[in-house]
Amino acid sequence: MPIQSINPASGVLLRSFTPLTDEELQQKIALAHDAFTHSAELPLPHRELCMRKLAHLLEEEAAELAALITSEMGKPITQARAEIAKCAAVCRYYADNAARILAPEPIDAASIDASVRWDPLGVVLAVMPWNFPFWQVFRFLAPALMAGNVGLLKHASNVPQCALAIDTLVRRAGFPRGCFQTLLIEASQVEAVLADERIAAVTVTGSESAGRAIAAQAGWLIKKSVLELGGSDPFIVMPSASLDAAVTAAVEARCINSGQSCIAAKRFLIEDSIYNDFESRFVAAMDAMKVGDPALEDTRIGPLATAAQIEEIHQQVQAALHAGACVLTGGERMLGRGFYYEPTVLAGVPRTSQVYRQEIFGPVAMLFRVADIDEAIAVANDTPFGLAASIWTRNRAEQARFAAELQCGAVFFNTQSASDPRIPFGGIKRSGYGRELSAAGMREFLNAKTVVIAQPKPAP
């Protein structure tokens, strides 16, 4: 079947691509393997120059690249430009910090001369999603190439033009041929790629089902894997918080990328004494969000990325209503062309319902009233996911408890959750394992090789 690029704002087919044949796929894997065998010939300062050139290209061509994102997956244009800028930032972060991260670490072991050196693993397969079609790739690409690894990208099938654009940018930046390649293949071909003995590791960002399947195969093959999967992140507001700031951030945190973000706030846990005030303000702000053409500067929420996505969201909203929830605003598909869904707020979703346990990947928020910090922590942790949490409190004692007791990969106080090149990103439970970004992300695909040099014994 062809790989198709469809404009979600109109439903119009943009381009169609033929998947690689098995023979073409083997040629690309061979090229990647050959590139890695010669990677030691490319010194770190040269990789730094290429990575800075890549950042420069991203910034110089931000308008065209952002327009491509918007046309292919519907991201509002202002957010698409911000995504490209973030990709340039992660390139510069690793260009600036790779030497420090990769430097051998001496071990203080008394009479033993020992150290740890960080060596690249080889060819890494990256299976990436459509929701941040450049950023998700670059947060793998930048540390992998700076470390001397080689990347093969299997991108989501609905963003093939973004995938090819990234491939071209890497080559234009000066990285040697084969260091990074896009594989236009179907999901059914991933198993054969991962099984190839020349593939050293795999990283997956995407659905829980995709993560399970690929991680199971990687485990059987005894290959390193990193998973960044779904999230049902809590956004908790306590009485000491600035309610104005919390409401503004809550709307942004739920609607970023039209609600299609793993780290977006999805469950809003509001302390009882401020719940009514928060609810009225939040619902009004959600209802006022401008939905429309993602190419327009003032659009806040664009279409969902695919027809299947909008169908899934609507089924989840209907399931919540059937379970006993109520709609405070929204709750319907929007008429006309394109894959649009109303900004929606649900209240009273039973914690025993199936939809409560699921990730809702669109502009749909669930509100919950909690009595105190104990209930807030209990409800926040009552999820199969564990990616991040955004907590709004100025009480130091509450901050300490939330930081210690919340079951997730990151806790953000008085700001919304977000990824940043400087800090580790990843989750626990069904949100996955391993980390991206920062030194931790670079070292996921490095061999921590211990080196011990024994001192000669004195002659008798």
Residues tagged active-site? 228, 262
Strands 199-205 and 123-127: parallel
Rounding to the nearest 10 degrees, give the CA dihedral for residues 391, 394, 396, 399.
Answer: 0
Q: Residue 135's closest CA among 95, 81, 84?
A: 84
Max intra-chain CA distance, the chain: 92
**Nearest-angstrom CA–CA distance, 286 and 327:** 12
Label residues 414-443 b or e (16+ Cβ within 10 Å = b).
bebbbbebeebbbbebbbbbbbbbbbbbbb
Q: Which residue has the tokens 């061979």?
A: 30
Contacts of 369 (CB under 8 A, 6+ apart): 270, 272, 275
Say which DSSP state 39 is in.
G
In whole angstroms, what is the distance from residue 106 CA to residue 126 CA? 32
Query: Contact at 8 Å (CB) between 61 and 244?
Result: no
* Torsion from C-alpha of 40, 42, 43, 48, nearest 10 degrees: -130
d(CA 47, CA 17): 32
3-state percent helix, strand, coil for the chain, nearest multiple of 5: 45, 25, 35
The helix (H) or strand (E) run that includes residue 144 is helix 135-146
> Can you say whether residue 319 is alpha, beta or left, with left for phi > 0 and alpha for psi between -120 and 50 degrees?
alpha
Look up tokens 């770190």; give the residue: 44
- Alpha-carbon dihedral 416, 62, 146, 202, rounded to 10 degrees: 70
| Sign of the four-CA dihedral 385, 266, 340, 14 | negative
